[in-house]
Amino acid sequence: MDDQLPPADLPFQLYSDTEPFPLVMGRTLDHMHLSFESWGELNEDHSNAVVLFTGLSASSHARSHALNTAPGWWEAMIGPSCGLDTNKYFVLCINHLGGCFGSLGPATIDPASDKPYGPTFPPLTIRDLAKAAHRLIRSLGITHLYACIGASLGGMLSLEYAACYPDQVNRFISISGTGRTGPQSIAYRYVQRQVILNDPAYHDGWFYDKDERPTKSMAVARQIGNITYRSRQEWEDRFGRSRTGNGYSFGPDFQVESYLHHMGHKLAHHFDPNSFMILTKAMDLFSLGYGFSSYREGVARITSPNLIIGVTTDMLFPIDEQEAIHLALKNEAVDSQFLALDSLSGHDSFLVEVEFFANAIQNFLRE
């Protein structure tokens, strides 16, 4: 992997590709690069690779390492004897095409104009993200994955990758994802994008050289998302009606408002709004049946044994959507297992209930 080492000032590794990359919706990228990070070692025949697909806003930094010692977003899940045991597996986490943490995306400089691509970046689908990841994986000499795993957007991507490359995926896990996006989560993301589109500071996507960036609308979009990431009962137990003070204010006045304010502004200053627009739309468009004569025909591409995990309190991708893809796979005689987690942490349970997910992942990967 020496040829994949990045310049010293990058906290990740970088894959670059100058071959044309045709996209599902008709356009072609004439070049591509993806950031990635890895833990553990590839074995001699490169058969122990586990690919981790991230959610919408996560980078490839799932765990700390020599290039970046900060804790990763799934720090406790990856490492020796952890859920993703680096004594056994080579764990690879990839930042999505269209993202903003080192991969080619709207904030990347377009060589043709010497300016960021901005809103001219072509529309993407989850299938494009899968095919881009496949190129990176093959560049590392990996022809078969021991497994691919993902949660939320990553859970959708894990399904699509297994559908696109059924003979190259030994097994996969999809957590809090869906086989086709339902109207409730589409509605949430539509409102999030409308907040950004109606922000004067967005400038139709051409804000990169402006004094003011659309951070306020990005914060609100994130706050809407955060409401859907946890359960009603957790909001009640964690915050109730506790106030931040005794005065009268339009907020943040209640503690739950203060939490949303903090979480919104935390993301707003480091996530590109155009990446948010493109990737959330890709989530809305997602269906395993996209481009096929029926949803069932798209599902039938999948042949790998799999584990589908859902959470009973998930507001964003309700558990019946995970059970539906499990049953659709069983209907095609695919070896599919289903686990339901009863947790107050809702959609974000995979980040909170680490012990449950570590055990579930370890047991499935051992089989």
Active site annotation includes 272: no
pTM of the predicted protein model: 0.95
Per-residue pLDDT tens digits for 288-341: 999 999 999 999 999 999 999 999 999 999 999 999 999 999 999 999 999 999
* Residue 3 predicted with pLDDT over 60: no
The average pLDDT across 93-113 equals 96
pLDDT band at 8 (very low <50, low <70, confident <90, very high): very low
- Catalytic residue, chosen from 217, 314, 336, 345, is 314
* Residue 245 predicted with pLDDT over 90: no
Cβ pair 115, 208 in contact under 8 A = yes
Q: Can you give the pLDDT at residue 1?
A: 36
Question: Of the ranges 10-14, 161-165, 182-186, 204-208, which one carries the lowest mean pLDDT score?
Answer: 10-14
- Catalytic residue, chosen from 33, 61, 326, 347, is 347
Active site annotation includes 152: yes
Cβ pair 344, 231 in contact under 8 A = yes
Hey, what domains does the chain have and what are their CATH numbers? Answer: 2-181+287-366 (3.40.50.1820), 186-279 (1.10.1740.110)
Query: What is the number of H-type helices and E-type strands within the chain?
Result: 11, 14
Active site annotation includes 261: no
**Whole-number Å distance between alpha carbons of 296 and 180:** 11
Rounded to a whole number of angstroms, the distance between the first and last alpha carbons of the chain is 29
- Among 357, 270, 308, 351, smallest CA distance to 174 is for 308
**Whole-number Å distance between alpha carbons of 260 and 210:** 26
Instruction: Look over the chain and give the mean of its residue pLDDT values, rounded to a whole number.
Output: 95
Q: Can you give the pLDDT at residue 146?
A: 98
pLDDT band at 247 (very low <50, low <70, confident <90, very high): confident
Q: Can you give the pLDDT at residue 142?
A: 98
pLDDT band at 191 (very low <50, low <70, confident <90, very high): very high
The average pLDDT across 146-167 equals 98
* In the block, residue with structure tokens 């043709």: 112
Element (H, E) at 236: helix 232-238
* Residue 196 predicted with pLDDT over 50: yes
- Catalytic residue, chosen from 152, 287, 345, 349, is 152
pLDDT band at 363 (very low <50, low <70, confident <90, very high): very high
pLDDT band at 251 (very low <50, low <70, confident <90, very high): confident
- Pairing status of strand 336-341 against strand 306-311: parallel
